[in-house]
Amino acid sequence: MSKHIAIGVDIGGTGIKAAPVNLKTGEFADERYRIPTPQPSTPDAVARTVAKVISRFEPGRKTAIGVAFPGVVQHGVVKTAANVDDAWIGTNLRDIIRDYAGHDVYVINDADAAGVGEATFGAAKGVDGVVLMTTLGTGIGTALVVDGEVVPNLEMGHILVDGQDAETLAADSARERLGLDWDGWSRNLQKYYSEMERLLWPDMIVVGGGVSKKSHMFLPKLALRAPIVPAKLLNGAGIVGAAAHAHHHDLRDRAAAKAAAKKAEKKAKKKGQ
Ligand code: BGC
């Protein structure tokens, strides 16, 4: 696999999706592959499926792989699991995927991955100031992109709106579960995004998730201060962002390992003199 290609994997509440991504263009280098998320979505079942989607693309030893997860991921460890099995909490995501896939991976929250994707190749690219990335899917994912950098693990999908967890009213799954038409769902979205604006004052709001390809059905109904636009990468933002995140960290780790090896060599030479 060329060194400009990394694999991105996006673990969702309903599907596990992956594709190789061309990091020069942000485009998929092959067709996306999706397997439904196993139910119950326990760590072993999910990790086995992630390994399966990764192996489909036959990564080389040096191919960087990024995995996006739908919960807080702090230093590789899962801290919350709103829309996947609770058994994930406390699990080292990086270790378990490596065990099943036989390949090192870099891990990141799914909304943060979407933020990286949109900041690098999409609607948030080159935007001055603060961009609020949101993903409307099984849950609501949020990321703040500040001058191209993502502030990790912002869990603003769980703020209270009308006394309820916002994602139970305004996620795409809520639209389906509550049987809302576009007008009804847009009213919930309006409340949610107005609250976001009151708290965060973004310069731009980006909407991702599967429903973003139908954004013409609800975005024109919203009245907000900041421009609100669909993710340019649509539902692929998480895959692209996970791949870009992995590529970036892989380069950084390789450079650090090289520098450390050089230093050790110098020290050994000095000792030998
Ligand atoms: C989780 C977030 C996640 C979002 C989208 C929320 O329920 O708490 O971490 O980013 O869903 O998957």
Residues 62-107 pLDDT 10s? 999 999 999 999 999 999 999 999 999 999 999 999 999 999 999 9
Q: How many CB atoms lie within 10 A of CB 92?
A: 16
- Percent of the chain past pLDDT 70, that is, above it, reads 100
Furthest-apart CA atoms within the chain: distance in Å? 78
Whole-prediction pTM? 0.96
Does the fold of domain 125-231 match that of domain 5-112+239-265?
A: yes
Neighbours of 151 (CB within 10 A): 13
Contacts of 222 (CB under 8 A, 6+ apart): 186, 189, 190, 193, 228
- Of all protein residues, whose CA lies closest to atom 4 belonging to ligand 1? 141
**Contact, 115 vs 150, CB < 8 A?**
yes
* Alpha carbon of 96 to ligand 1 centroid (Å): 20
Residue nearest to atom 1 of ligand 1 (CA): 71
Dist. CA 139 → ligand 1 center (Å): 5
The three-state secondary structure class of 266 is helix
Q: What is the CATH number of domain 125-231?
A: 3.30.420.40
Closest atom of ligand 1 relative to the 72 alpha carbon? 9
The domain spans of the chain are 5-112+239-265, 125-231
Please give the CATH topology (third level) of the domain spanning 5-112+239-265: Nucleotidyltransferase; domain 5 (3.30.420)
Residue 256 Cα, ligand 1 centroid: separation in angstroms?
32
Average pLDDT of 187-197? 98
Name the residue with the closest Cα to ligand 1, atom 9.
Answer: 71
CA 265 remoteness from chain centre: 39
Distance of CA 108 to the CA centre of its chain: 6
Distance (Å) of CA 94 to CA 3, 99, 248, 261:
22, 9, 16, 24
Distance from residue 228's CA to the centre of ligand 1 (Å): 20
